[in-house]
Amino acid sequence: MMHQRYMILGAALLISAFAALKAYDWLYPAKTSVKLVFHAEVDGSPFQRNEFAYSNPGGDGQFRIRDFRFYLSNFRLEGSDGLIQSIPDSYHLARFDNAENSYVLEFDDLPVQQLQSISFAIGVDAAANTSIQTRGDLDPNSQMAWNWKVGYKFVLFEGAMQRDGKQTPLVYHVGFSDNMRRLTFDMATPMELVQGAQLDFTVDVMKLFDSTSTVDMARLSSVKFDKADARMLAENYRTMIALKAQ
């Protein structure tokens, strides 16, 4: 008899301990992390620097890429339970001059368990753009700074055009707070942010010149401070990042 009573007591203890653990999990869910990988490409071709490998989308000539980089900012993750996590001071300079031609970002310590959507901006918000405070990858002494009156270049493309055996420089520096573009990507199905969770994006450089507007890069070989040209390229770069199927 005694024996049976102990068994029941033991089982009850086990069950309550288990219930307590479940409640703890529910009250204090484990922190998650996610890795974002941005893969540069050019209209489906591999991204390479220094080869005249790409065709001018709006006219004659072949172009090459010397430098391509841009700011990503204001990351916001939304969970399937409606929980929204904004990443503080998230100003990240994406550059692709590495062996993989990719840019990797990692966010740790997230409360989001199941990712429903992710949102971020190409460019920098007006408050940070007009400040000389360093935060994230914003640095007023960096190559991306114009000067403290104008703010940052959001997207930088430098290279050269080859036409009729002649080379001419290509310089596209797009900035101004109005030209920040926010992108939102919804998951087809909520994504469990378990160990090793990774989202892959493609960055199609060609979209900068061939999207909403098609640019003849031989005619418009540089964009810097002309507001209309900058806005046109901003409308184009709005479409350059795509989420790869998971």
Partner 1 sequence: MRLLISDNSKYDQYLRGEAKLTDTEEFGRKLFMAHPDVKVSLRGGNCIDCHSQFLTSGFRDGLDGFSNNGLDSDEDLHEGLMALTKDPLDRGLFKVPTLRNIAVTAPYMHDGRFATLEEVMEHYNSGIKISDTLSPLILEADNQKADPDQATGLQLHDDEVQAIIAFLHTLTDENFLTNSKFSNPFEASK
**Minimal distance, residue 244 CB to partner 1, in Å:** 27
Write the DSSP string, 143-190: TTEEETTTEEEEEEEEEEEEETTEEEEEEEEEE-GGG-EEEEEEEEEE
CA 213 to chain CA centroid, nearest Å: 22
Report the residue number, 93 or 115, with the smaller CB distance to partner 1. Answer: 93
In whole angstroms, give the CA distance from residue 118 to residue 246: 14
The correct pick among 10, 29, 46, 169 for binding partner 1 (CB under 8 A) is 169
Choose the stretch contacting partner 1; rule: CB under 8 A; options: 101-109, 113-121, 166-174, 199-207.
166-174
Report the residue number, 42 or 160, with the smaller CB distance to partner 1. Answer: 160
Q: Judged by CB under 8 A, does residue 52 bind partner 1?
A: no
Q: Where are the beta strands (DSSP E) in 27-165?
A: 32-42, 45-46, 54-55, 62-79, 84-86, 91-95, 102-110, 114-122, 145-147, 151-163
The correct pick among 121, 128, 160, 241 for binding partner 1 (CB under 8 A) is 160
Sort strands 151-163 and 166-175 into parallel, antiparallel or unpaired: antiparallel
Q: Judged by CB under 8 A, does residue 24 bind partner 1?
A: no
The correct pick among 35, 66, 182, 231 for binding partner 1 (CB under 8 A) is 66
Q: Judged by CB under 8 A, does residue 142 bind partner 1?
A: yes
The correct pick among 159, 176, 183, 217 for binding partner 1 (CB under 8 A) is 159
Report the residue number, 51 or 81, with the smaller CB distance to partner 1. Answer: 51
Q: Which helix (H) or strand (E) holds 201?
A: strand 198-204
Report the residue number, 25 or 51, with the smaller CB distance to partner 1. Answer: 51
Q: Which of 108, 246, 101 is nearest to 185 (CA)?
A: 246
Binders of partner 1 among residues 184 to 223 (CB under 8 A) are 221-222
Binders of partner 1 among residues 225 to 244 (CB under 8 A) are 225-226, 229
CB distance 157 to 169 below 8 Å: no
Q: Please say whether the dihedral angle defined by the alpha carbons of residues 218, 229, 224 and 127, taken in this order, is positive or negative.
A: negative
Binders of partner 1 among residues 94 to 133 (CB under 8 A) are 97
As given in the structure block, the two tokens for residue 51 are 């080869």
Report the residue number, 95 or 113, with the smaller CB distance to partner 1. Answer: 95
**Minimal distance, residue 25 CB to partner 1, in Å:** 42
Q: Which of 111, 118, 137, 110 is nearest to 37 (CA)?
A: 118
CB distance 121 to 180 below 8 Å: yes
- Binding residues (CB under 8 A) for partner 1: these are 49-50, 66, 93, 97, 139-143, 145-148, 158-160, 166, 168-171, 173, 221-222, 224-226, 229
